[in-house]
Structure 1
């Protein structure tokens, strides 16, 4: 069980962190947030408690049936040769068929392992949710930084426009247009700030902490130079598939237990009957108490119940096989779709990088034209708007790339 725990949970968290932490320039790292969430998230705690209950059921399985103790008093005392019987005391213990205890323990253990895989799945899904929201917060923060840079750029253009107005090379309308554009960018920044606060609240909810607690994310992320590759075969070790293997094993254990319970149950006991002495006679064993050891057998003659359980177990195993196959198909499709989105993000980023460079070249031409007094501030606004568009789309592409990378790691590690 300990080996399974390391492979299913810790391995995933370490791989997820290793894939992205090399890109971090500042801010709290993703791994620490994931660990904090796994320690504090109430849903994870509830799943862990269910697993602990399942583990405890292993101890519960190693118990004998209740010991039967009975006592009776003879109102009308039956007379025997050695005296009158006064009362009857009995004790009996039923013992399951050989191997029933081990079968019960195996069944309880298999159910506990199935619950542990569910815990692993919950932790992986939580880590994925944390990662996705982390990169969404990064994008919202990075976009605000880009807006700040563009606002400062517009202020520079505004100063140029004011200078041009003084020498009659531009009109006051150009200045107003630049100021209006600054107001629009300030509005967009405020909208992004509100979106960041809302997303921060969602993020803190996963960590089960104060919704208004500050969340620090990285300042910058870059696309790795190497293309991420993943094999569909890696899906075979995914917990969402392993859970069906564990469920299949639990049904097999259930059937083994069913076959043991189909066997007779043995019982051992003892009857004790106190006998009164006969006062008018003197002979050997006068008033001797009766002690009678007993052995009993409980035979399930009407065993249609156990046959029905066997049939149900076979059907359950067939159902689990079908469910596993369906889930594997879903995971394979999800992996292919995620890989496509990942490459789309890379293509978008590279395209916008080229566009941004061309927009900067156009900006340089406009600045040079200003030196000759022929600057067109409508062109300036157009170029600035294009630059902003390309920069925001680049950030969105980076965010999408890392979100899809997290999904790929969730599916294949």
Structure 2
């Protein structure tokens, strides 16, 4: 159906646009496709839509054809002979156009179910993307912590050398070891968080939770944000209300058709016995009687009430759409703001990290002249770690908010 092809193409393109802007993220698109294929919730929505399509076929029906037969126990005598039995057939027909309107209503309901199916896919896409970026964040933090532990080991070697020449104390070595132990603790905690997020991610894909996940090695915030539309009118969550409104319109047309008269056509057949006491041309002639009937809904308050109900439902759907639009606009503005904040934070942390590295180099040079202070070393190392973790958090936040923006604006 034209509606299905249009919205399916739009949804797939809108989500792929941002993802494929970065070629290294193609693996994420592959995971999203796998989730769409395997997720049982998506499969359930697809079945619901298939059922709705069948209802379009079901709508093409007519009232049951009535057949009747009767046998005269006491045969009524007529001039042409005794009536033996009566056979009749009758078919009622709805008012002109009722069947097509009924099918239009079923089609509108099917399109509403298809929008629900698309919304479910988009929500799953967003959930998979968020989980993927969270996994990247945890892995990247783990990598940074391991790098800092290696750096502390280097400092520890410097401290031991300084002790030998009397330029440092055992306390400095212990401080470095304590700091190293704290970082190792963070790494162990991250391992548990990674394990939990990995189970969540694989569950979204409906596959074995122990399967490995290929992650992007390193992510950066691009120099320019992708062009986005601030119009939310094409968001499927709003299109769903349009389809609901259309279905109410169709059900009202159907209500008006059902409130019109129904026409019936039938045929009665009565076999007649021949009279033996007399002979004439129509002796024993069977009776055939075509019939036309009309069913008129004289007491039609039911249909009048349905019309009022449908009008109220239209008003309800309109108000619900306005409310949902306001919520989406608020969420969109928040996502854009948070993505901008992520860029600002990332830029600031990059500057701070460069200055911290410069300070580290100064400390190393001081060590060569014999004036190293390991308290300063720990302070600089802690600052570097803070800036690195904040950078990773900013990148993750940027991409998660970008995924939310794509969900809302397309």
Q: Is the 8 A contact 1:13 1:31 kept in 2?
A: no
Match of 1:15 in 2: 14
More displaced 10-residue stretch of structure 1: 107-116 or 222-231:
222-231
Q: Deviations over 1:79-118 (max 9, x none)?
A: 1112211111111111111111111111111111111111
Deviation at 1:372, TM superposition (A): 1.2
C-alpha distance in structure 1 between counterparts of 2:86 and 2:53, whole Å: 42
Q: Is the 8 A contact 1:47 1:119 kept in 2?
A: yes
Q: Is the 8 A contact 1:12 1:410 kept in 2?
A: no
Structure 2's unaligned 5+ residue stretches are none
Match of 2:80 in 1: 82
Q: CA distance change for structure 1 residues 107 and 5 in 2, over 3 Å: closer, same or farther? A: closer
Counterpart pick for 1:395 among 392, 397, 410: 392
Match of 1:129 in 2: 127
Q: Deviations over 1:373-400 (max 9, x none)?
A: 1111111111111111110111001000
C-alpha distance in structure 2 between counterparts of 1:294 and 1:6, whole Å: 48
SS in 2 for 1:344: helix
Q: Is the 8 A contact 1:23 1:222 kept in 2?
A: no
Counterpart pick for 1:179 among 177, 182, 185: 177
Q: Is the 8 A contact 1:267 1:296 kept in 2?
A: yes
Deviation at 1:228, TM superposition (A): 4.5
Counterpart pick for 1:255 among 228, 231, 252: 252
SS in 2 for 1:115: helix
Q: CA distance change for structure 1 residues 360 and 342 in 2, over 3 Å: closer, same or farther? A: same
Deviation at 1:10, TM superposition (A): 3.9
Q: How many residues align?
A: 410
Q: Is the 8 A contact 1:94 1:267 kept in 2?
A: yes
C-alpha distance in structure 2 between counterparts of 1:16 and 1:277, whole Å: 83
Q: CA distance change for structure 1 residues 307 and 145 in 2, over 3 Å: closer, same or farther? A: same
Match of 1:194 in 2: 192
TM-score between both structures, scaled by the size of structure 2? 0.96
C-alpha distance in structure 2 between counterparts of 1:144 and 1:288, whole Å: 101
Matches within 5 A, 1:133-152: 133-152=131-150
Structure 1's unaligned 5+ residue stretches are none
SS in 1 for 2:214: coil
C-alpha distance in structure 1 between counterparts of 2:15 and 2:408, whole Å: 11
SS in 1 for 2:12: helix
More displaced 10-residue stretch of structure 1: 172-181 or 31-40:
172-181
Match of 1:166 in 2: 164
C-alpha distance in structure 2 between counterparts of 1:309 and 1:35, whole Å: 44
Q: Is the 8 A contact 2:366 2:372 kept in 1?
A: yes
SS in 1 for 2:208: coil
Matches within 5 A, 1:191-340: 191-228=189-226, 230-232=228-230, 234-340=231-337
SS in 2 for 1:235: coil
C-alpha distance in structure 2 between counterparts of 1:190 and 1:226, whole Å: 36
SS in 2 for 1:358: helix
Deviation at 1:6, TM superposition (A): 4.5
